Structure 1
Amino acid sequence: MAARKEAKALHEAIREQLRQEIVSGALPTGTQLRQDALATRFNASRIPVREALRQLEAEGLVAHQLNRGAVVAGMSVEQICELLDIRVALECHAARLAVPQMVERDFAAMEAILKAYSESQSIPEWAEHNRRFHLALSAPANNKRLLRLIEEFCLNTDRYTHVAMSRATGKDRPQEDHYRIVEAARAGDADQVAALLEVHILDTKKELMASARAQDRETGLSLRY
């Protein structure tokens, strides 16, 4: 029994470390994740490494390619937009559950994250504070399974969207949305929080699609000339 708990803890630790490195960009899209090398790195057998990679694959962060094995997964604009639609459903539901349960400690935690967000200097830092804010907003729903789903979908989209969003909107406009959401939460208006959150996420989707269209136009022009 003790051996099973230790193995479980080890594969979870490996998964969390690899997830953080993928989300931060330390492991870019296409990076090969060799089981033997990871086992050596984490001083583990291949069994917990294999399980960690399996779980990351289920989250969409890892894919298996022919003749290459596990690699850090890429994602198309269409796939990201699908996940953003799912985020709307999950996060807005969580917000309606969370707002009635919020206390001053929750508001203070969100405001501290937003302060760090404003002070962040790099896109990876910005993305991490954004992720933490969305999780802090959902946490008072007190539904661990729902929070885990939100975390996975936040992680799967943020690492792709923040570079595009930094070009399209900068940092100020999303941050204004965040503060409006906290203000509505302080007022205890769960429906308003959900409405603001839906617009906030769907604006990300629209900006991402517009960025992709602009890139397509630039590519077309470069091919014609």
Structure 2
Amino acid sequence: MSPATRPRSGPDRLRHKTVSAAVADALRQRILNGDLAPGVQLRQDALAEAFGISRIPIREALLQLEAAGLVRIVPHRGAVVAGLTVEEVEDIFQLRVQLEPQLLLLSAPRFSEADVRALHDLTAEYGAALQAGEVDRWGELNRRFHLDLLRHADRPRSLSIVSGLLQDCDRPTRLQLSVSGDVARADAEHTRIVALCEAGQIAQAADLLRAHIANAATSLVAIYRRAHAA
């Protein structure tokens, strides 16, 4: 068997896997930060040159990003940064409006004192990131907050769906907060939701959560429609 046709050894496969994971992480951050906008073509040869590596780990990294929904493999174009249409944004937020308040009604009665403290700490961290303009952290902290609110609902399938929806909302959430300037409102509503849960006013907390998601959806859809009309 010639060297060209011989299967790669274990260490070679491990090295490619490690390098591809690092490339995928670097590209993921650039996509989530908005440095790589939806529709941008990710050419394997250009990426290989930029990272100083072969095309094999680049191809593997792009497949990882496709599995995460951040990249689409398009015939005759290769990999492009994935984006959301207005209709997809509306669909995502409509699903969240339906699911999250119901899950909160199940989760909040099971909060321990430690859970409430952790939520307060997370809202403080999120508020500080909002005020500091740390845009790269907004989406992830928002996702953590919403999932932590719902984690005790004992509905693993519903939580898995919500987790995926929140992941899809990462970039849109940062866009909505950046363009609308609603950072103070987002911070205040998160804080109020936790306070209502702590006070045992769980139905009111669920109502506020529903309004919180719906308000973000209205703002974001308006931003998307303005962008498409421009």
Matched, 1:114 2:123: yes
Structure 1 residue 35, shift from structure 2 partner: 7.2
Matched, 1:71 2:80: yes
Number of positions where the alignment pairs a residue of Structure 1 with one of Structure 2: 210
TM-score, normalization: structure 1? 0.73
Cα distance change of structure 1 residues 101 and 22 upon mapping to structure 2, 3 Å threshold: farther
Letter in 2 for 1:77: V
Matched, 1:188 2:200: yes
Q: Which runs of 5+ in 1 are unaligned?
A: 220-225
Letter in 2 for 1:153: L
- 1:198 equivalent in structure 2: 210
Matched, 1:81 2:90: yes
Q: What's the secondary structure of 1:70's corresponding residue? A: strand
- 1:223 equivalent in structure 2: none
Structure 1 residue 14, shift from structure 2 partner: 7.5
Contact preservation (8 Å) 1:30, 1:71: yes
Matches within 5 A, 1:1-225: 17=25, 22-25=31-34, 27-32=36-41, 52-57=64-69, 61-120=70-129, 121-122=132-133, 123-215=135-227, 219=230
Structure 1 residue 98, shift from structure 2 partner: 0.8
Determine the C-alpha separation between the residues in 2 that align with 1:180 and 1:112.
13
Determine the C-alpha separation between the residues in 2 that align with 1:107 and 1:75.
34
Letter in 1 for 2:187: Q
Q: Percent identity?
A: 33
Task: Report the structure number with the largest CA radius of gyration.
Answer: 2
Contact preservation (8 Å) 1:14, 1:42: no
Structure 1 residue 118, shift from structure 2 partner: 1.8
Structure 1 residue 26, shift from structure 2 partner: 5.3
Q: What's the secondary structure of 1:194's corresponding residue? A: helix
